[in-house]
Amino acid sequence: MPSYSSMNLSYEDINLFLFFICSMCPTGKYKGEGNAVIDDKPNCKNECHCKALPCLYLNGQCTDGCAVGWRGEACNERDCEIENGGCKHQCSEDKSDEWCSCDEGFNVSPNNWRDCIGLYIK
């Protein structure tokens, strides 16, 4: 096995390599703008929406593709054209959080904001 000195790696190179190996953002997040570390914690400001695996730390790309309702290099742009964005009835790409809405006579389910439940008329 080669040693670090035989590969001509400096301590800075090794520390940087170890930082990238150890830097993990929670699933759904990747490196924000600016420094990679802020207050001794990885800078995990940007959001990504991958199918199941975490996105890559530096650029947010999803190795397993975007989850339903998302597109873009980092899967952070809404996509109502694919499976209606995961919405039961209507999908709106201009909303920031809950982007599903329901047809007349239905309300958004309290258990799942992508689902709609019928209103009962007495």
Residue 20 has pLDDT above 80, yes or no: no
Across the chain, mean pLDDT equals: 76
Q: What is the pLDDT of residues 65-89, one digit of tens each?
A: 888 888 888 888 888 887 888 899 9
Question: Is 58 in contact with 30 (CB distance < 8 Å)?
Answer: yes
Claim: this prediction has a pTM higher than 0.75 = no
Give me the mean pLDDT over the 4-11 stretch.
56
DSSP string, 39-86: TTEE---EE--BSSSPPPTTT---TT-BPTTEETTTT-EE-TTSGGGG
Residue 113 has pLDDT above 50, yes or no: yes
Phi, then psi, of 63 in degrees rounded to 5: -75, -20
Domain ranges of the chain: 25-79, 84-121
